[in-house]
Structure 1
């Protein structure tokens, strides 16, 4: 009887192994039958990187979509890539099948920001860090620091008054100071702020340089500055621990966070995420602010409508003597449409990087394991099927909500930007103070675009700005 049972168990076990083997072979045969998407891989290693980053991405993407369709392959930043240019594809990668595609960045950039930054991860660690960041960027804490954001905006505009300045650089100062506010609250010593800014600017300059880690190269200087940033952050955290007060800001939330086993984040993990938040909060927001200033200048009718809306709030605030309220930022309907249309037109984030963690089939094509996958937000935002006359700047189109998955300025799914509410408040406060108190003129041509890597008007949009008297504010 015992022998009989053993024989039965052996047969079942062998049958199970045979089933697994056949299933694996069937899957392998299935994927072997699939073909790679059409496309051109360019030169060895370099691929088509130079074409993408030195030209208008609209032309780069549209020419390939016209030739190959909405699914095509290429080679960018040393990696084979599949590019996807439809709302369905973006949802497939970022939402419904997100488990098959992990977030990824070039290793050189990952080393510079820090491997523990939340946007390099998925799973439990990512969810934990995202929850911490989102809690610090939710409406309640933002409402509390709204007066501080106003002070930063006022200071930037006052320094600009009467001068010609590069808009993008001014907006980078603004977004950096707001980022420092979010991370450190009002607790940061001026000397620490100075050192953080000095070293961050070196890191920022080397971030998009060639990853050649030799002395005197921008990349090497950036990596050295990155080490100094970690040291500075460690000092700040140690001071807080000695005082016995972590703080209620983002840094404090990270320092106090514990997992299920009671373990806290290491200083290295916190430093990587602080620097990651600074990166995420600066260039993209500064780029959007630059484009909005350009669009308000280039479209006088839109400017007039926005100013009329903001002047109502300005008068209610006793001609600017009272601070903005949270409720007032929620009432800026026309201004909010201008922001949405600026985000669509500029499409600062042209695409996002993901990596296939297994062989994936999409619409009969094979996306091999390890290949980068890039949903193309820019092309979706400029598709006439979803946005009528997509090259026209028309904020009124957002009187009606766009179709699902056709408007993704902050990404989509579990890796969507957690700072979108902060960016919106920052933009609204700037527009309020800008249109109610200042006039500005663009110096030189503003119709050409540079990519570094985010799109900005040529030379960062040089602008002369001056304050207007109360008698001329109507």
Structure 2
């Protein structure tokens, strides 16, 4: 009898369980019935719309679909179904308001080259702690003392160009921004280590966007090998600091000496974040500085305004005989606005990747779990609803607090916004000061084209000839079309 009652009880529990599951399925289907995917096309099976994306300017690809489908639309690119977000509210929703529901995501091949524990692959408490350390190392108190060194690097770089040869500006600026990044991360570094870091990083960088195959001799294989060497070099520098008990206030010092309630960072965590910061610091800064040079060349009146501002500082420093001060850098208001407008116009960080960690509903649209979500910063920066005549360079937009909230995101947005953006602007201001006060230049070659490497840059990296000027032979820049 007990056996019969036990069997009946199990049967009742099973029936109730099945009923609950069926009710859950019905509710889920009802919920999905009232939500829908955003409009758009997923293109062909497997390849989606990837071919269309790579056959045209990416901005044109996304803008065409925004006009057709609205500010939230779907597509399928690079093997992934994606939801594209082209308005500030949607970007804020994903990157700030509901950031915990969207994890940072990058192709595994790229993650392997930088390191899975790097700051921009992470979220939560670990990400917050690393971000805090990066910001501390780049604080005003730590950056002020190295301004003279950054200035010396800028002068050395420009002097090396001033022999009339054709300089591919972007590629040369990558060397300059790398040197500044090394200074910010390691402080004073032995020349041997400096060379080894640069040589291996250049190899890594060349294969970063190549097809990810581990066949010996391929660019990607060489990058992976260079990544391993970089790890060994950084570890040697770390061990040297530990042995000598060097408590420096650069990024490596903060990472190595981190200790919170007995919790420290592993060597792999430190190495991944050092390489991550090197990667983040180099191309973006070099790209935007290249665009600044192009814009002030294309707009003579703009050049005159910047040069006028910088010449006052130059003359007050005994015609460049004295170094720049922090106060003088803060007074470069016109130049600063030009940098901001260049950031908007060029939008070198056109979008960012996130992945939905669960089904999410935004504005009546379903964002399915596992789909990629891409806030389109460039589309927001070029939207006439937020910027009048957005295709026209107009630095006066930034004269007052006239920029609408959440519409200017040149360094990303939310907790994953670039923590080094102020340092990037500082080195740009220093570089521009010496450029416009002591040099003239001629941009040569094709004009108006854009390449993606992977960030947008002027065609061929802006081939240019530079010449040192004297105070009484100062000339305006010009362009020569071959």
- What aligned pairs does 1:241-280 form with structure 2 within 5 A after superposition? 241-260=242-261, 262-280=262-280
Task: Return the offset for 1:335.
Answer: 0.6
Q: 2:208 maps to which residue?
A: 207
Change (3 A) 1:391 1:242: same
Aligned residue for 2:167? 165
- Residue 134 of structure 2 is aligned to residue 151 of structure 1: no
1:323–1:114 CA distance, 2 compared to 1 (3 A): same
Q: How far, CA to CA, are the matches of 2:45 and 2:121 in structure 1?
A: 26
Using the alignment, how far apart are the partners of 1:38 and 1:159 within structure 2?
53
Asked if the contact 1:206/1:218 (under 8 Å) is kept, the reply is yes
**Cα contact 2:252–2:274 (8 A) shared by 1:** yes
Cα distance in 2 between the residues matched to 1:285 and 1:52 = 25
Q: Give the whole-Å Cα distance in 1 for the aligned partners of 2:468 and 2:118.
A: 41
How far off is 1:241 after superposition?
Answer: 1.5
Deviation at 1:286, TM superposition (A): 0.6
Q: Is this contact kept in 2: 1:54–1:451, CA < 8 A?
A: no
Q: Per the alignment, in what secondary structure is the counterpart of residue 82 of structure 2? A: strand
Structure 1: distance between partners of 2:22 and 2:246: 58
Any gaps of 5 or more consecutive residues in structure 2? 1-15, 476-482
Verify the 8 A CA contact 1:77 1:106 in the aligned structure 2. Answer: no
How far apart in 1 are the matches of 2:106 and 2:77? 12
Alignment partners' CA distance in 1, 2:25 and 2:334:
56
Aligned to 1:366: 366
Question: For this pair of structures, how many residues does the alignment match?
Answer: 459
What is the aligned partner in structure 2 of residue 10 from structure 1?
Answer: none
Distance 1:153 1:44, change over 3 A: farther
Q: Is residue 142–residue 249 contact of structure 2 (8 Å, CA) maintained in 1?
A: no
In structure 2, the partner of 1:191 is 192
* Equivalent residue, structure 2, for 1:415: 416
Taking structure 1 as the reference length, what is the TM-score of the superposition? Answer: 0.93
- For residues 331-342 of structure 1, what are the structure 2 equivalents within 5 Å? 331-342=331-342
CA distance 1:33–1:440, shift in 2 (3 Å): same
Q: How big is the shift at 1:19?
A: 9.3
Give the Cα–Cα distance (whole angstroms) in 1 for the partners of residues 21 and 256 of structure 2.
46
CA–CA distance in 1 between the matches of 2:100 and 2:20?
A: 25
Partner of 2:304: 304
Q: Does residue 37 of structure 2 align to residue 36 of structure 1? A: yes
Aligned position for 2:82 = 81
Match of 1:437 in 2: 438
Deviations 1:28-63 (A, max 9, x none): 531354221122223444433344355322211111
Structure 1 unaligned blocks of 5 or more: 1-14
RMSD: 2.0
What do the CA deviations read for 1:293-334 (whole angstroms, capped 9, x no partner)?
Answer: 000111000000000000011111111111111111111111
Separation in structure 1 between the aligned mates of residue 149 and residue 56 of structure 2, nearest angstrom = 39
